[in-house]
Structure 1
């Protein structure tokens, strides 16, 4: 076998592998809020409580070939909270908690995304809640199904870090740890 043919064959194989890798890459954008969910759990007086937020807007630009260049933003309408009962839902909108009259939204803006392999990513960003901004790390699993990307993750926030549940609520009646779960659905581009 001559060396020119061998070099040509190697180049063809490398090109084919590059094209195959490019073909496996997928780009996702714009979160579909009707197909997506944000929920939370916490402990209150020893019982587990579950709640949701029904109104939010997500903006996403994500390319599996270059996840480090991706960006993700999420704005949650805090008045859309459902804490499982009318009393709890009304209480969480008051000044001691979310104070939705002064701070109607929670905003997350990504500052970096790291590929952890096997469709797992770590999204780092700033979360602003009640006028307080904190850096958070959000582990995410990407599942591709039927032309959409489903970004699933969860993180634990400490409500005291954001001055949520002040005054009489600052004791341990309501847990300091709030577990946030999300499922963001975004179409392929």
Structure 2
């Protein structure tokens, strides 16, 4: 009877067969981006974000990830750029304060490489996005690292006069490095 009760409570809590999500360590983790303005690469970063990751390399089909980025805490390289990216033409942070990515479909690619497919939302638009990443375990946890290209115009980031790709290129490379302790 006790075993049945324990089994049912684990099942009800969703812990049977699924890894438990753990938060990424914000002091060790980063989410950055690189864009080209006037043919000059500019690197920026999102200073505030949260990431909850449940992932077992031996059972990728049980994984899940939820990432939320605070767009008002964007460092785009200068104080003028930091103010500009919050405007309606860019992230419109007064209406859309966060960008999110939630995935529960994972595919092994070999050699410690995987892909995560899920819903990406930014500036009021949501669509499927597949993100490649590697997993590098260490003695105290795991590093999840990857990068992917994003078309800013497809997501209406940099509208109006900023839609001219001669001034700011359409392609933005997003790079992440997330550390989750055991």
Give the TM interval when normalised to the shorter protein: 0.7 to 0.9
- The structural deviation recorded for 1:34 is 1.6
CA distance in 1, matches of 2:21, 2:58: 11
Deviation at 1:35, TM superposition (A): 1.1
Runs of 4+ in 1 over 4 A off after TM superposition: none
Name stretches of at least 5 consecutive residues in structure 1 with no aligned partner. Answer: 1-25
1:179 to 168, 173, 177: 173
CA contact (8 A) 2:21 2:65 kept: no
- Pick from 130, 147, 154: which aligns with 2:123? 130
1:70 is displaced (CA, Å) by 0.1
Task: Tell me, yes or no, if structure 1 residue 34 matches structure 2 residue 27.
Answer: yes
CA 116–28 in structure 1, closer or farther in 2 if over 3 Å, else same: farther
Give 1:33-52 correspondences, 5 Å limit: 33-52=26-45
* TM-score of the pair, normalised by structure 2: 0.86
* Count, aligned residues: 163
Shift of 1:118: 1.7
Q: Does 1:146 align with 2:146?
A: no
Q: Contact 1:28 / 1:187 at 8 angstroms: preserved in 2?
A: no
- Structure 1 position 29, deviation (Å): 2.7
Distance 2:21 2:159 in 1: 39
Give the Cα separation in 2 of the matches to 1:30 and 1:90.
Answer: 29
Cα deviations across residues 79-99 of structure 1 (Å, max 9, x unaligned)?
110011000111010000000
| RMSD over equivalenced CA pairs, Å | 1.4
In our comparison, the structure showing a higher alpha carbon Rg is: 1
**Does 1:59 find its partner at 2:48?**
no
Normalising by structure 1, what TM-score? 0.83
Q: Could you list the runs of 5+ residues in structure 2 that have no partner in the other structure? A: 1-18
1:94 aligned to 2:87?
yes
Distance 1:28 1:57 in 2: 12
